[in-house]
Amino acid sequence: MYFNLRYENEELVFINQTLLPFKEEYIHTDDYNRIAEAIERLEIRGAPAIGVAGAYALVLSQKKAIDPALFEKAYKRLAGARPTAVNLVWALNKIKDCFSISCTFAGLVDAAVALHRDDERRCELIGKYGCEIFVKKSRVITHCNTGRLATAGEGTAFNVIKQGYLNGQVEFVYADETRPLLQGSRLTAFELGKNNIPFSIISDGMSSHFMSKGLVDIAITGADRIAANGDSANKIGTFALAIACKYHNIPFYIAAPKSTIDSNIENGLGIPIEMRKGDEVLFANGTPVTLPEYTALSPSFDVTPAELIHGIITEDGIYSYPYNFREV
């Protein structure tokens, strides 16, 4: 079975997600800068996963010697790798809290491993509580990838789907392909396939069609940052999916660990949205889809307003609208 992140022999081992589903290749490194590059290139991706990988990377910067100047340099490099998912800075700050001139490399490793185990536990509880949303055997739609590949455990929204399937509460999954980088058709499909869960890939614009035919019962996605009022940033296209759900009276849920909540940000207007290179839209898996002289825009995330979110599934249970995450 595949894995996402592992700490072994004083190195981080991670699967290169840009090659999936065609090739399962694992990279071994103890270089924090290589891990920062992997986060930027989406070899490692998904909000909780980049948090845990970032934590290991920061710790690995101290492998040769405890060096406060290098620690600060590595912190800045990693924190700047991706701006939207708050889990990255959240996890880096947890390591920073443990750091002092008198700490040891082994002590820092223990702190990163504890974050890894903590994310596993959060995913497990999200999967457990999340099954309460299924009122009948359901056909579920999801967007982007929220499974083992996006976390350090078994996933958020994906783990709700997986546990629901194992309980007999989920019968079929529509996996949005998730343009431009195809986390749905490459990664969610890969994970659904590995778990023998029946599914079809649909392109992002097809969801309303299937909803209008009465073929979708419920939608669940993950999140990269949730503001205090519940406005939730997730992969571009999530907002459109939530609007389509509202129109068709289909409950739309977010599943995320509380490390994704940013109580310092009042609402979605304050969430930084990563702009990526237009080339990600102009090419599909390296092949141009249009003429080279054309330009494209590529915001990586959008913000779904809290009022469109039926419930937010966390490791502490399910919250309902209106949300108040000012003190989490």
Applying CB under 6 A, among 5, 12, 43, 45 the residue interacting with ligand MRU is: 45
Is residue 291 helix, strand or coil?
coil
Residue 241 burial class via C-beta count within 10 angstroms: exposed 0-12, middle 13-18, buried 19 and up: buried
Q: Does 304 bind ligand MRU (CB under 6 A)?
A: no
SS (H, E, C) 78-121: HHCCCCCCHHHHHHHHHHHHHCCCCCCHHHHHHHHHHHHHHHHH
Smallest distance from ligand MRU to CB 264, Å: 19
**CA dist list (Å): 308 to 84, 254, 259, 320:** 20, 10, 21, 11
Q: Does 83 bind ligand MRU (CB under 6 A)?
A: no
Nearer to ligand MRU, 222 or 230 (CB): 222
Scanning 65-73, 114-122, 144-152, 310-318 for contacts with ligand MRU by CB under 6 A, the matching segment is 144-152
- Contact call for residues 159 and 147 (beta carbons, < 8 A): yes
Nearer to ligand MRU, 62 or 184 (CB): 184
DSSP 8-state secondary structure symbol assigned to residue 153: S
Applying CB under 6 A, among 15, 57, 89, 150 the residue interacting with ligand MRU is: 150
Q: Does 183 bind ligand MRU (CB under 6 A)?
A: yes
Token duo for residue 218: 């419920």
Applying CB under 6 A, among 224, 231, 262, 302 the residue interacting with ligand MRU is: 224
Token duo for residue 65: 């010697």
The CA distance from 320 to 328, in Å, is 15
Q: Does 154 bind ligand MRU (CB under 6 A)?
A: no
Q: Does 48 bind ligand MRU (CB under 6 A)?
A: yes
The CA distance from 78 to 113, in Å, is 18
The contact pattern for ligand MRU, residues 226-265, with x = CB under 6 A and - = no contact, is: --------xx------------------------------
Active-site annotation holds for 118: no
The CA distance from 260 to 44, in Å, is 17
Question: Which residues contact ligand MRU (rule: CB under 6 A)?
Answer: 42, 45-48, 85, 144, 146, 150-151, 156, 183, 221-224, 234-235, 300
